[in-house]
Structure 1
Amino acid sequence: MSSSQENSNGPPSAAKDAVLVPSVEMPAEAIEVSGIDFNKFHDKPVTAEDLYEGMKSAGFQSTSLCQAVDIINEMRTWAGPPLPDSPPGTSPPKCTIFLGYTSNLISSGLRSTLSYLVQHSHISAIVTTAGGIEEDIIKCLHPTYLSASGFSAPGASLRTQGLNRIGNLVVPNKNYCSFEDWVVPLLDEMLAEQETALSQPVEEGDARFTWTPSKVIHRLGSHLGTHPSTSPLAHTSVLYWAAKNNIPIFCPALTDGSLGDMLYFHTFRSSPRHLGIDIVPDIRRLNTISVRAAKAGMIILGGGLVKHHIANACLMRNGADYAVYINTAQEFDGSDAGARPDEAVSWGKIRGDAKTVKVYLEASVAFPLIVANTFVKGAREDKEDEKME
């Protein structure tokens, strides 16, 4: 048969077989792809829960985001069996939840969401960067603004105006001047306490007083609520609520920001010794929290130091039980920031049977929707249960 005759009778059989490879039967538990039917909401508002229900089977990052909701809900509701020799009535152990975030998120409006979690003690410990400390304080003094030119505002022009750009946000230099006025007298107090403690005799077996980043941060947070310039807005602060609720905030890179500038300037006015800040007790404290955790969960917004510092603490207990990463970094360059959870499994920082997800979304978009469907929803349900009792 000629090729012309074959073509006249239909497509070549080899081509047809290649295109239409027979498919297997899909398993009964397979989930159909579907999205949100907004026709259902013409006469009622769309809630965060409605979005979650509609997005979880939409695929791509919608599904990943909803997996993060499911994992975090399991983190926050897990309760283990009573510990041996626990007194009657002792609450069962809960999951220890580590929260990590980069400083840009405090600069953004996501600070309100992070503050809510700390205010209501939904998390156990925090790791952030220096900007995550100072920007939180600065917002109690002066606001941060949206840039009129968005991400395209020219740096040279902003520099001549004394304005600093963080993405599409703008922070006036005045904010940092006010921060210096606020923090330097406190550094003086802390140095005086250090010098008084160092002048006292040390009894055998006693540890000599030392400042650590977490102690410094606790003092800063407490000071927010008492200083007249910051107390009116202290309730918006992550540091304030962390100090009030005794939630430790760790910042091993405490000097990498405006706070480091202030500590540098302070060395020229302090005598005979400078303020000493020891990072070693903090790594012992963070790792001990991890080791003693009945279950451990990580919620990491962004990458870099905050991501690895929490993951490495979880190595001390042979890995976290839950991990939710939210960032846009890619893994092709081998950076820890872009690494998926399975890479941490190879190091023992996440358990092999842990429940994990990486959400490839910018956190200011993803995290409010996640929090609305986890901690906020859970708090509302708890109140409803209390009314029923």
Structure 2
Amino acid sequence: MKEDLEPIEDISLRPDMTVEELSRQYLASGGFTAKKLGVAVEIMREMLSDDDATIFLSFPACIIATGARGVIRDLVRKKMVDVVITTCGMVDHDLARVWRKYYHGDFLLDDAELHKKGINRLGNILVPNESYGIILEERLQPILEEIYSEGKNGLSVRELVYEVGRRIDDEKSILHWATKNEIPIFIP
């Protein structure tokens, strides 16, 4: 079944991008909240015009399962935000998507049938079993062991996310860019 599915694509912004190109990227991004982007652009414009503003970016983890992840990544990569506050699933989805693909689905798909095929549904996003839990365990265990072997234990969540981000050498990752640009990620 996965051969017939279209993978979720990150939105990638460019200064010379046309509305048509952005629209096509929205279509490939899947997810739930792309239409609210216009409001966000206006708010962002106001914040960026204030040189004294400290810009906090807060969002739920679910959008990182969609192509909107690319917008969040680009905001962090371009240092357009100073602080990120999010939920714990952001780390999971960011890393899972570094290592595996998520796919387009539909809200009305039969979860029991998907389960039989080893696929989970997150709204209208399909997440094969091998794209989430298994890969996270396989890839994160060595990273966590390395952090621990360096004597770094008792870390705050922000510090742990930073240490994991230091070890992610993939420019598609939000963690990679947050660490590189020293933008703290807080997960209350």
Q: TM-score range by the shorter chain?
A: 0.7 to 0.9
Residue correspondence of structure 1 range 23-102 to structure 2 within 5 A:
47=19, 68-79=40-51, 94-102=52-60
**Would you say the 8 A contact 2:144–2:164 is kept in 1?**
no
- The Cα of 1:235 is off from its aligned counterpart by 0.8
SS of residue in 1 equivalent to 2:155: coil
- The structure 1 segments of at least 4 consecutive aligned residues displaced by more than 6 Å after TM superposition are none
> For residues 70 and 98 of structure 1, what CA distance do their matches in structure 2 show?
15
Q: Which residue of 2 aligns with 1:42?
A: none
Residue correspondence of structure 1 range 334-349 to structure 2 within 5 A:
none
Match for 1:180 among 95, 118, 137? 137
Match for 2:119 among 163, 169, 172? 163
Q: Which residue of 1 aligns with 2:97?
A: 139
**Would you say the 8 A contact 2:65–2:93 is kept in 1?**
yes
Calculate the TM-score normalised by the size of structure 2: 0.75
| Number of residue equivalences | 156
Distance verdict in 2 for CA 1:46–1:235, change over 3 Å: closer
> For residues 187 and 123 of structure 1, what CA distance do their matches in structure 2 show?
27
Residue identity in the other structure for 1:108: T
SS of residue in 2 equivalent to 1:126: strand
Match for 1:222 among 133, 145, 166? 166
> For residues 178 and 75 of structure 1, what CA distance do their matches in structure 2 show?
38
- The Cα of 1:73 is off from its aligned counterpart by 1.4
Q: Which residue of 2 aligns with 1:243?
A: 179
Distance verdict in 2 for CA 1:67–1:164, change over 3 Å: closer
Q: Which residue of 2 aligns with 1:154?
A: 110
Residue identity in the other structure for 2:97: K
> For residues 68 and 39 of structure 2, what CA distance do their matches in structure 1 show?
21
**Would you say the 8 A contact 2:62–2:89 is kept in 1?**
yes
> Could you tell me the percent identity over the aligned residues?
31
SS of residue in 1 equivalent to 2:154: coil
Task: Supply the RMSD in Å over aligned alpha carbons.
Answer: 2.2
Q: Which residue of 1 aligns with 2:146?
A: 189
User: RCO higher in 1 or 2 (8 Å CA, sep ≥ 6)?
Assistant: 2
| Deviations, residues 340-383 of structure 1 (Å, cap 9, x unaligned) | xxxxxxxxxxxxxxxxxxxxxxxxxxxxxxxxxxxxxxxxxxxx
Distance verdict in 2 for CA 1:98–1:211, change over 3 Å: same
Residue identity in the other structure for 2:107: F
* Ranges in structure 1 where 5+ consecutive residues have no aligned partner: 1-44, 49-63, 80-93, 198-208, 226-233, 253-389
Distance verdict in 2 for CA 1:71–1:177, change over 3 Å: closer
* Ranges in structure 2 where 5+ consecutive residues have no aligned partner: 1-16, 21-35
> For residues 139 and 37 of structure 2, what CA distance do their matches in structure 1 show?
40
Q: Which residue of 2 aligns with 1:306?
A: none
